Structure 1
Amino acid sequence: MIDDLPYRRVGEPKVGGIVCVADHASAYVPDDIELGVAPELLKTHIAYDIGTDGIADRMGRRHGIAAHIATVSRLVCDLHRTEDSPAVLPTSSDGHLIPGNIGANLDSRLERFHRPYHEALAQWLDDANPELIVALHSFTPKLESKIEDRPWEVGLLYNQDDSAARHAIRLFGEEGLTVGDNEPYSGKELNATMDRHAEAHGRKYITVEIRQDLISTKAEQARWAGLITDVANRVALALKAEG
């Protein structure tokens, strides 16, 4: 965390342009919070969305898409949940108990992490008035607690407004990728940040989920940063053409 803020910014948003939001980019746990989990678990998908920090950072530094990037682990406070969701302060994740969160002070975590993150994001988006938001996430190829096939290389999530997602699904597919339509999760059930900051304001967005084994290295992250930027720009053009 920088200056005790639960987010950092990369790049300057172009008013009316494209921006990126990465809610689960960090595995950082502040020294004064004891989660009670094995240190090696903080290097896995239960602590953060592997690869997203590098992609969002590169989009901001190299591709002109400014990024609002979380700097605290989802295990400390899940910024991609509503304040009243039990999962905002998770007591378990993919079969692993998070004992330090059992009985923890929820309002303290919300006040320290969740509220500053979303209040700052709201103001940033109001100032930028973006034509498109890229909400960036990644997913593990295999959950420990569930047997399921996850063949998708990238997925597009949405809730009520799928207008931008439809274009992105087509464009990623044209790149030869196996694309999930509201997979591996459904945005009908899990879309908290975009529900609040995009759909509630009529802003267009694409929520991009990338399979983590495809973005584990800096080279792979650089490739995906370029690909997502290209797709996002073409989505924005398609939306403009639709009027």
Structure 2
Amino acid sequence: MTVARILEGEPGGILLICDHASNAVPSGIDLGVAPALLDKHIGVDIGAAPLTEALAETLGAPAILATVSRLVIDLHRQPDHPGLIPTLSDGHAIPGNEGVDRFERIAFLYGPYHRAIEARIRAIRPTLLVSIHSFTPQLETAVGPMRPWEIGILSNRDRRAADLALPLLAAQGLVVGDNEPYSGRVLNATLNRHGEARGIASIAIEIRNDLIADGEGVWRWNDILAPILSDIRNRLAPEGLLAT
């Protein structure tokens, strides 16, 4: 199967990445769960794929969208991460993943996906990598308040793009989290591998999924983010290190 859907765009600028774009399960894999579970946040980043597509269209930017559910294999984890092939996700058992051949699934899905990203980076030499994700307002297993952020900006050691993005988003009157609801110092596998390892500036954008659950929400956030990402790209361009 094709593990990455490629949207063409202008080289040298922004490359959009959507690791959790799909809830599809490849033929021959049985997760042992009800189909409705794949539509929940544990199966797909709700709204992330339509937002990535909208931003690609508005910005004229290339994009890579995964075509497999994160319950099959989480493409945004290191190969040795215990949650790479989850057997439990937010309180839901994934019995079909018990005892699977980890290396076979990595070879079949994980490896080809990340090689596709590497190939696009070599071809288009982007200045900025932008990973699009969404998060649920509250985990089903959580005890405590709802997550208050509308959007979070995640980064690891390279703060170039994050430090530009945060004040621009705050100026829009948004409730913005810096490394919230997750820390990019802990969960940043895709951008660590393809951004920081190559000296390419990068950020992960996490949007609360109830805000992009329909077309109106997607286009609202597209209109917010597109000019901000263009501004960040332009500010980074003179100093941005190109991929080698």
**TM-score normalized with structure 2 length:** 0.94
Q: In 2, are the aligned partners of 1:54 and 1:221 still within 8 Å (CA)?
A: yes
Counterpart position of 1:41: 37
Match of 2:123 among 127, 135, 158: 127
Q: Percent identity?
A: 45
Q: In 1, are the aligned partners of 2:133 and 2:204 still within 8 Å (CA)?
A: yes
TM-superposed CA distance for 1:240, in Å, is: 4.2
Counterpart position of 1:228: 225
Match of 1:217 among 205, 208, 214: 214
Counterpart position of 1:204: 201
Counterpart position of 2:183: 186
Q: Which runs of 5+ in 2 are unaligned?
A: none
Note the alpha carbon deviations across 1:107-139, whole angstroms, 9 max, x for none. Answer: 111111100000110111111111111110000
Q: Distance in 2 between matches of 1:60 and 1:143?
A: 29
Q: Distance in 2 between matches of 1:125 and 1:220?
A: 30
Counterpart position of 1:10: 7
1:141 aligns with 2:160: no
Q: Distance in 2 between matches of 1:131 and 1:213?
A: 30
Q: Distance in 1 between matches of 2:11 and 2:20?
A: 25
Note the alpha carbon deviations across 1:166-205, whole angstroms, 9 max, x for none. Answer: 1111111111100000000001100000000000000001
Counterpart position of 2:86: 90
Give the direction of change, closer, same or farther, for the CA distance of 1:61–1:238 in structure 2 (3 Å limit): closer
Q: In 2, are the aligned partners of 1:63 and 1:226 still within 8 Å (CA)?
A: no
Note the alpha carbon deviations across 1:139-162, whole angstroms, 9 max, x for none. Answer: 000101112431000000011111
SS at match of 1:190: coil
Match of 2:114 among 102, 118, 125: 118
Q: Distance in 1 between matches of 2:239 and 2:15?
A: 20
- Output the aligned Cα RMSD: 1.4
Q: In 2, are the aligned partners of 1:18 and 1:131 still within 8 Å (CA)?
A: yes
Q: Distance in 1 between matches of 2:13 and 2:8?
A: 12
1:154 aligns with 2:151: yes
TM-superposed CA distance for 1:61, in Å, is: 2.8
SS at match of 1:32: coil
Q: Distance in 2 between matches of 1:28 and 1:57?
A: 18
Q: Distance in 1 between matches of 2:173 and 2:233?
A: 21
Q: In 1, are the aligned partners of 2:87 and 2:93 still within 8 Å (CA)?
A: yes
Q: In 1, are the aligned partners of 2:151 and 2:207 still within 8 Å (CA)?
A: yes
**TM-score normalized with structure 1 length:** 0.94
SS at match of 2:5: strand
SS at match of 2:161: helix
Q: How do 1:50-69 and structure 2 match up within 5 A?
A: 50-69=46-65
Counterpart position of 1:174: 171
TM-superposed CA distance for 1:218, in Å, is: 1.2
TM-superposed CA distance for 1:223, in Å, is: 2.0
| Larger deviation, residues 96-105 vs 221-230 | 221-230
Instruction: Give the total of aligned pairs.
Output: 239
Q: Which runs of 5+ in 1 are unaligned?
A: none
Following TM superposition, where does structure 1 have runs of at least 4 consecutive aligned residues deviating by more than 4 angstroms?
240-243
AA in 2 matched with 1:236: R
Q: In 2, are the aligned partners of 1:11 and 1:61 still within 8 Å (CA)?
A: no
Q: Distance in 2 between matches of 1:143 and 1:212?
A: 12
AA in 1 matched with 2:151: V
AA in 2 matched with 1:109: R
Counterpart position of 1:31: 27
Q: Distance in 2 between matches of 1:134 and 1:5?
A: 22
